[in-house]
Amino acid sequence: MNPHPSELDEVLDFFILCDIAEFGEPDTSREDLEQLWSEIDLARDAWIIRDGQQRIVAYANVSDASEGYQMDIYTHPTDAPVGIEDSLMDLCVSRASQRLAESPKETQPFLTGYASSQNPRLQQVYEKSGFVRHTYHYRMQIDLAAPNLAPEWRGNFHLMAFRPEDELELYHFIQRAFDWEGHKDTPIDLWRNLVFRGGRFEPELFVLVRDGERLVGAALAYDEGGSGWIRQLAVHSDYRGQGLGSLLLRHMFHLFHQRNAASVALGVASVNENAVNFYERCGMHRSREYIEYRKILDRVS
């Protein structure tokens, strides 16, 4: 069955149950689920499965991604029937192919899904369904028990909180900063939805660094209620290797320490070995590992 907006809190509680079983702590916010549900057609893009006692035992959805579509699957850690992931996988693949057929996209995009390294059951379902392992992703984290002093900025560098008039400049800056081999620009509307969370963000946690008037660094972060999450951290290619990234990261640690956050985390792809090493030098550690799976979609009528 498809979820109804009135079931959002029940689905959120189910997500948190799954998170705690897998990671030992919640990893989902109400705001993010609200944002996701506002962007998809619940009657066609999401599904929940209940048991005989009407408890949710599984959930899945399909949403837009930069190179096609993304799917998410959650199953109850102890009460999900064997084979339930396969049924949800079939629904997601079928719906993504339908969406592709209905769209004007000329390319043949991917359906992307993720499984943590601690979830071999879901990994097997992806691989049995023809998905291939594409990239590994790490959650990098630092605990903020010790004091984090504000770094000292020298020269012409100055920090500013995000302003609405910065949006287009920031978008192009982020796309160029992550312009690695094979990179495709995220469409601005999708980037806007992902980053600004439908307006539910704090401009003071979107920190821009300028050298004079030139935008040379940016950190886009969120207060997750007891922890900080850095969605994107970027430095202009002309300024790399000069310590700017370290200063900016330390500034974000200090900012969240002032808010009494227990930790700060971010995500990084394993293929970006330089970034992984950089974050480890800055005191962060790998707290989780995810496998990104991809499947080339077929158009269906």
Going by their DSSP bridges, the two strands 68-75 and 110-116 should be labelled as: parallel
- Its pTM stands at 0.87
Give the pLDDT band of residue 190 (cuts 50, 70, 90).
Answer: confident
Instruction: Find the DSSP H helices in 103-140.
Output: 120-128
**CB-CB contact of 153 with 159 (8 Å):** yes
Domain 5-136+292-296 CATH assignment equals 3.30.360.10: no
Give the pLDDT band of residue 198 (cuts 50, 70, 90).
Answer: confident
CB atoms inside a 10 Å sphere around CB 49: 18
Domain with CATH 3.40.630.30 in the chain: 5-136+292-296, 146-261
Which CATH number is 146-261's, of 1.25.40.10, 3.40.630.30, 3.40.720.10, 3.40.50.300?
3.40.630.30
pLDDT in tens, 7-54: 999 999 999 999 999 999 888 888 889 989 999 999 999 999 999 999
Closest-CA residue to 251 (of 128, 136, 156, 153): 153
Instruction: Find the DSSP H helices in 40-82.
Output: 42-45
- 221-to-62, 78, 160 alpha-carbon distances in Å: 25, 34, 14
